Structure 1
Amino acid sequence: MKKAIKWLDDYLEVSLGVVLMSLMTLIIFIQVIARYVLRSSLSWSEELARYLFIWIIYLGISYGCKLMKHIKIDACMSLFPKRTRPYVELAGILIFLAFAVYVAVTGFDLTMKQIPLNRKSPAMGLPMQYVYAAPAAGMALSAIRLVQAVIGQVKKIRTGVS
């Protein structure tokens, strides 16, 4: 069980991202071949590629949170004394965490509102709640990664490591 949790912690976003990106690339490739070689277009391929891309983006946000590689304004950090910089970093993570939780909760509510409407995508007839679930799922994963970052930052502050 611990191995499975460790594997999910290490590779969840990457493995899902690779699968979704490969699937999206394959679908687009098939569409190009169908359109220009077979002179027949697939009606559903562009729609599915778009929806896969949305999921890839939100998984990428979570992966960026895991690596702490999101855009930061480093010039602002130099304005603070070295002793207070870890606290400013912690404050930034906490603000991002609050935003991620807000988007996840709002996205979940929006997803739940799609179910009784029974809306379907135009070309594939895919229930739209699967598309609307991407922000909720991605930002919920991001929130988990940001909680991990908060714990790591608090440990750094306690041990005095910068």
Structure 2
Amino acid sequence: MRKILQWIDINFEPVMMAVLFYAITILIAVQVVLRFVFAAGFSWGEEVARFMFVWLMYFSISYATRNQRHIRVTILIKRFSEKVQKYFMLATDFIFLLFSIQIFIAAMKVCESVFRFKDMAVTINVSLNIVYGAGVVGFALVVIRLIQSIVWKLNKFHDSLEIFENYAGIYSGAGHICFLPKSVRKETVRACEGVE
């Protein structure tokens, strides 16, 4: 059971992102062929692709959060000692956690409003919560990933800055994503040998 949970922890967002990306690509490609070759098409294709894109973006935010891949400006923080840098990183995670909880609550309110007013998609007969729910799920995952990051940093506070920071998730399993090319996987495992 532990191995299954570990696999889900490492692979959930990447698998969802890959599935959504390929589904969007196939749907748009079919739409283009139908329109330009057969002068036909699905009336719902563009809207469904847009919905999938929104879900893809929210899974991407969670993935970037899990693996410490968000854009960072470190020119000032690098001037401090390692210990101070670690405190700054923890404070940043806590601030991001508070922000994410606020966004999660706001997304829940939007979904509740959509449910109450029965807002529907234009071309398909589904509630708009099918797209607004992406914010709820996405930021719930972000909150979980931030808590994992804070726990990691608290547990690794006395380790080197590289391990504490865990950039790109190399020390927490990002090198073991199920469809990662073998060369990248070997390189990541080699970089992490002797850690943990």
Please give the TM-score of this superposition, normalised by the length of structure 2. Answer: 0.78
- Is 1:120 the counterpart of 2:112? The answer is no
Q: Report 1:30-49 matches (<5 A).
A: 30-49=30-49
CA distance in 1, matches of 2:132, 2:61: 16
1:67 CA drift (Å): 0.7
1:60 CA drift (Å): 0.0
Instruction: Deviation per CA, 1:33-61: give whole Å up to 9, x if none.
Output: 11101111321100000010000000000
- The amino acid across from 2:51 in the alignment is Y
**Structure 1 match to 2:143:** 143
1:15 CA drift (Å): 0.9
Question: How many pairs are equivalent?
Answer: 161
CA distance in 2, matches of 1:131, 1:160: 41
Alignment gaps of 5+ in structure 2 = 162-196
**Structure 1 match to 2:58:** 58
CA distance in 2, matches of 1:78, 1:14: 31
CA distance in 1, matches of 2:109, 2:66: 25
1:107 CA drift (Å): 0.5
Structure 1 runs (4+) deviating above 6 angstroms are none
Q: Report 1:1-162 matches (<5 A).
A: 1-157=1-157, 159-162=158-161
Alignment gaps of 5+ in structure 1 = none
Query: Identity over aligned residues, as a percent?
Result: 29
1:77 CA drift (Å): 1.0
CA distance in 1, matches of 2:43, 2:92: 44
CA distance in 1, matches of 2:79, 2:138: 33
Instruction: Deviation per CA, 1:59-78: give whole Å up to 9, x if none.
Output: 00000011101011111212
Cα RMSD after superposing both structures: 1.2
- The amino acid across from 2:70 in the alignment is H
